[in-house]
Amino acid sequence: MKTAGWRSVLTYGCVAILCQPLAACGSAENPSASTNDTAASTPAPSIPANAPLIIAFGDSLYAGYQLGPKDGLAPQLQAALAEDGVVARVQNAGVSGDTTAAGRQRLTYVLDNAKAKPALVVLGLGGNDMLRGIDAAQTRANLDAMLAELKKRDIPVVLTGMVAAPNLGPEYAKKFNPIYPELAAKYGASLYPFILDNVVGHSDLMLADNIHPNAKGVKIVVEGLAPLVEDALPDAK
């Protein structure tokens, strides 16, 4: 990770322990609207009904916590892909407060009830595990099971990673931080190493809780994530 990225991690560590209760706020279905924190946008193009389906499956960082309906990860990613000429429908399957265990429990339901077989899943869970100090072995096992299920269904994956807050100590970080690169290598998934890289630590890109990105912060995330999604999306190759 770049030096700037590590500075972001250190800043994230300073606030993460103080903001643990916020990890369970909000919902994917009814995110609270933020105040004057929207990204500049143009009207979204019409997406054909048969467009490839991308499922964004994660926690509050995916759900659009305290953001407007067009400002979360899924709508901004869909818009960014369209701007690059990649027409795809991005479904928001983020649930605020979700741990990897909760995600593991609902993944099959989400996949089975999707309107079409997903062309790609963007998977991002583990932040709430880390904030709660859950055993990293459990986090690894849950993510491994989800990636195995997606592989069984022949669904490509872009995995967005998380890093342990320094407050949790070097032993926890030693067990937690390798989870994402090692599982991405095991399952052949594309990896975005730290979802909040270049965002956390910048007050103009974060909500007041210093945990969740605002609309401008999500835009930065999407700028880094979209190229990986485009490369991993079969119909875009």
Residue 13's nearest CA partner among 132, 165, 130 is: 165
The tokens of 231 are what? 């490369």
Evaluate if residue 11 carries a pLDDT over 90.
no
Instruction: Please give the model's pTM, rounded to 2 decimal places.
Output: 0.85
60 membership: H or E segment, kind and range: helix 60-63
159-202 pLDDT, tens digit per residue, is: 999 999 999 999 999 999 999 999 999 999 999 999 999 999 99
Supply the pLDDT for residue 120.
Answer: 98
- Does residue 8 have an active-site annotation? no
Instruction: Tell me how far apart the alpha carbons of residues 61 and 74 are, in angstroms, rounded to a whole number.
Output: 10
What is the rounded distance in angstroms from the CA atom of residue 173 to the CA atom of residue 220?
25
Check residue 215 and give its pLDDT.
Answer: 98
Task: State percent of the chain over pLDDT 70.
Answer: 80
Question: Which candidate in 8, 60, 96, 190 is catalytic?
Answer: 60
> Is 60 tagged catalytic?
yes
Does 114 or 25 have the greater pLDDT score?
114
Order of all β-strands in the sheet with 89-94: 89-94, 53-58, 120-124, 157-160, 190-192
Q: Which of 204, 215, 68, 209 is nearest to 127 (CA)?
A: 209
Half-sphere exposure of residue 173, counting CA atoms within 13 Å on the CB side? 11
| Residue spans per domain, the chain | 3-15+48-236
Q: Which of 12, 19, 13, 22 is nearest to 170 (CA)?
A: 13
pLDDT at 121 over 80: yes
The domain over range 3-15+48-236 is classified in CATH as 3.40.50.1110: yes
**pLDDT at res. 3:** 40
The per-residue pLDDT for 4 is 44
Residue 203 CA to residue 183 CA, distance in Å, equals 32
Cβ neighbourhood burial of 26 (10 Å; 0-12, 13-18, 19+): buried
From residue 224, give the alpha-carbon distance in Å to each of 33, 58, 96, 219: 24, 17, 22, 9
So what's the pLDDT on residue 49?
87
Quote the CA–CA distance of 112 and 211 in Å, as a whole number: 32
3-class DSSP state of 130: helix
Which residue shows structure tokens 């079409």?
116
CA distance 152 to 155: 8
